[in-house]
Chains A and B, each alone.
Chain A
Amino acid sequence: MDGNKILVLDDVSVRYRKQDSRSTSDIVKRILGKSPRNNEFWALKNVSFSLERGDMLGVIGKNGAGKSTMMKAISGTLTPASGTIEKTGKICALLELGTGFDREMTVKENVYLRGAFMGYSKEFIDSKYDEIIDFAEMREFQNSPFRTLSSGMKSRIAFAIASMIEPDIIILDEIFAVGDGDFRKKSQQKMQSIIDNGDTTALMVSHSLQSVRAQCNKVLWLDKGRMVMFGDPNTVCDAYAEYLNTGKLPQTESLAATQENPRNRLKKNTGKRLAEAAVYLMLLLVIIAGCFVWSQYDLLKSYVLAQSLTVEQIENEAANYHRQIDRLLEVDTTRWDTGIFKEGALDIINEEATYTDVAKEVLLQAGDLSRDQYKKALAAAEIEAIKYSHMARLDALVAQMRTEFEAQPEGKYRSLMVYAYTNCDRFYDLEEDCENDMQKVIEEIRTFQRKAGQSEDLADRVWNAYKSEKTYLLSYYCVKLR
């Protein structure tokens, strides 16, 4: 920026939306491509001008010409859709007097808050506070909530802040239309003294050509968002006065430079913004990717661990822990879901997986385990596998026996065996009444063997197996008895 240029607008366009809120059906239509983007409205089109320190710019134009929009864009509360605004120093914008305050807070708190918003330090506002409150003639109201003030009072305090804290650029949007006569006079005088000082650049919106001619050294004429003329107050004001009479816009250079749809122009801001957004998006993606890897970390860890051991080693380790397994199961399954062992065991029986696979699952299930815990889990898995492999074999056997039984109804002992097996779980639980059942079964076996002329020690062996809770031995004898 040039040394003296304090405010430079370069090809600034501002876009508004016509409708207030869009409904869900609008969004769906947009996504489906059935609705054109006709919801937009260019409040400002390709406006370019620059001001130097001490300039006083008057902005004229009919209602809805984009005057206030331009002021908002300069103050920074609106971001232009395209073009750039370069400004130096602090800006104080009096857009609509008495707005932009917190209704619930007191006047004093609002003064400090407004000062803070404008980027001033606490010390600076401390030093200016008395001046502000006295200028606004509000000392007795300084501790009342802002919402209790009248609109005139709100305007006074707003103007007092703006004029006392000496901004580099001051924006006045038709502010002298409010306030009582005395205060208006006082504020106009204050304004004049600020401008005469020559340090502050001011932009004012006014419908009074008289005051524009008197106070401003540059004038901008806007019409429907387009820049009609910019320059010497008398020239522009004369042209404007003529337009008000005839209703014909003069054909000026700046008007010709305006486009119907300014979006086609280069958007410096948007490019930069998109680049920044892309960086954030990438960061987000990296983190999500990191998360994914992390969530698979346990699997990777157990995989590496499993690769470093041979099947024999694993089986040996499992055997070592075999003896302690009851205690271990008691201790550790509180943390682990035994269901996973069962599933794993069934996988092993179906020869679709190895112990290592089960262990991997266990690791996944239990979260991060130490190597020691891993071994324990492995052993536990193996025990479950042994238990359930017998169960599964028995299941198959029972199915087979039942089929045979139906084919040969005369084989009564077979039904007993089926009975023995199907009650296996109960036998294993060693319940009292089960013992009676088992004794009956043993008796049947003895009778059968006597008839068949076989030795009777099988019945004893079955009984022993039952007594020592060896379910799978029991099932083995069931098979043998066939």
Chain B
Amino acid sequence: MTSDKANHRFLLSELIRRDFIKKYKRTTFGILWSALSPLFLLLTMDVVFGTFFGRNMPHYTIYLFCGLLLFNYFSAATRSAMRVLYDNAQIYSKVPVPKHYFLISQSVAQAIDFAVSLLVFFIFVAIDGINFHWRFLYLLFPMVCLYFINFGIGMFLSTLYIFFRDINYLWPVVTRIIMYASAIFYDPSILPGIMRRLLNCNPLYMCVDYFRQLIIHSTVPSLSTHLIMIVMAAICALLGWFTYHITRDKIALYV
């Protein structure tokens, strides 16, 4: 028998390829949508909110884009992950394959999607006259954290979706709340003190704030911020894995 590890990698790469191809199958623009959809949203929001909040804030477009970029990744990744176990049921109920491979491949496909919109983001950063700095490498940190947050929450939702379809209607509501709680288009300093403290419990806001501090103010957040983010990402990932782990044998009976 050939080495199992290499074969697993092959399986994963096949799945990732499949997920990514399927995403834009039968579209004219294909992968361009990864760049176009956040762009359209950005322009709309910039026009609408720029007049309210943009007046006394430098680089408001970038400020907004930081929030939108990460929030879009979060919402798209969790929304599509939610259906993964359900949609692939016809495969894993007939072919023995560990179910979490589908979740992993889906999360990687979404990350690739995110990377494309990240390119557009950096083009905007350059246009806005912000100088690139080696410190921008620090941005990998919130991205990795966000990946694990999305992966964990996606896994959690996907498992739950098998048992409670209600999640399908509940999650968009929660996503909307998270959007408002991430200070995407407003300055959090307009909030009263207690709300601002609550904002810091939102892992997505932490990531957004990290991006803004680095890109707009070119300061690296404190060590404690890093540690909190690691802990938050670990909690999300473990929560997802834990939920999946205790229910994975039952999933085949419910789909």
Contacts and interface: CB of A to CB of B under 8 A. Distances in A.
Interface of A: 15-17, 21, 72, 75-79, 89-91, 93, 95-96, 99-102, 104-105, 109, 112-114, 116-122, 124, 273, 276-277, 280-281, 283-284, 287-288, 290-291, 294, 297, 334, 337, 339-340, 365, 367-368
Contacts of A99: 90, 94
Contacts of B193: 337, 339-340, 365
Contact of B96 (A21, A77, A121): A77
Nearest to B22: A104
B139 interface: no
Decide if the interface of chain B is mainly helix, strand, loop or mixed.
Answer: helix
A112 B16 CA distance: 13
B231 A280 contact: no
B252 A277 contact: no
Nearest to B197: A365
A95 B197 CA distance: 55
A109 B13 CA distance: 12
A280 B245 contact: yes
Interface in B178-204: 189, 192-193, 197, 200
Contacts of A104: 22, 25
Interface of B: 1-2, 4, 6-8, 10-11, 14-15, 18, 21-22, 25, 90-97, 165, 189, 192-193, 197, 200, 222, 224, 227-228, 231, 234-235, 238-239, 241-242, 245-246, 248-249, 252-254
Contacts of A297: 224
Given A79-B252, A100-B95, 5 more contacts: A72-B93, A89-B1, A113-B18, A273-B246, A339-B193
Given A77-B95, A78-B252, A121 B239 contact: no
Contact of A291 (B231, B245, B252): B231
21 contacts: A17-B254, A77-B92, A79-B249, A91-B96, A93-B94, A93-B96, A101-B91, A104-B22, A112-B14, A117-B11, A119-B4, A119-B7, A273-B249, A277-B242, A288-B235, A290-B231, A294-B227, A297-B224, A337-B193, A340-B193, A367-B200
A81 to B, nearest CB: 8
Contacts of A117: 11, 91, 95-97
B56 to A, nearest CB: 13
A294 B229 CA distance: 12
Contact of A116 (B11, B200, B222): B11
Contacts of A273: 246, 249
B25 A78 contact: no
* Of B6, B21, B25, B94, most A-chain CB atoms within 10 Å: B94
Contact of A113 (B14, B231, B253, B254): B14
A272 to B, nearest CB: 11
Nearest to B94: A100
A280 B4 contact: no
A368 B224 contact: yes
Contacts of A89: 1
A15 to B, nearest CB: 8
A116 B245 contact: no
Contacts of A17: 253-254
Given A17-B253, A77-B95, A121-B6, A284 B242 contact: yes
B234 A277 contact: no
A287 B241 contact: no
A76 B96 contact: yes
A16 B249 CA distance: 12
Nearest to A79: B249
Nearest to A365: B193
Contacts of B227: 294
Contact of B95 (A90, A105, A118, A120): A118
A348 B139 CA distance: 44
A124 B254 contact: no
A91 B97 CA distance: 11
A109 B245 contact: no
Nearest to A98: B94
B98 to A, nearest CB: 9
A368 B222 contact: yes
A294 B18 contact: no
Contacts of A79: 248-249, 252
Nearest to B97: A117
A368 B225 CA distance: 10
A363 B132 CA distance: 34
Contacts of B197: 365
A90 B22 CA distance: 28
Given A280-B238, A284-B235, A121 B95 contact: no
Contacts of A118: 95
B10 A287 contact: no
Nearest to A99: B94
Contacts of B2: 120-121, 124
Contacts of B254: 17, 21
A79 B92 CA distance: 12
Interface centre among A77, A95, A112, A291 (most CB of B within 10 A): A77
Given A280-B242, A287-B234, A294 B7 contact: no
Given A76-B96, A79-B249, A116-B11, A100 B238 contact: no
A344 B95 CA distance: 66
Contacts of A100: 90-91, 93-95
Nearest to A158: B94
B7 A121 contact: yes
A102 B234 contact: no
A95 B96 CA distance: 11
B22 A105 contact: yes
Contacts of B8: 119
B10 A122 contact: yes
Given A17-B253, A284-B235, A290-B231, A337 B7 contact: no
Given A77-B92, A114-B95, A116-B10, A337 B192 contact: yes
Contact of B93 (A15, A77, A334): A77
Contacts of A284: 235, 238-239, 242
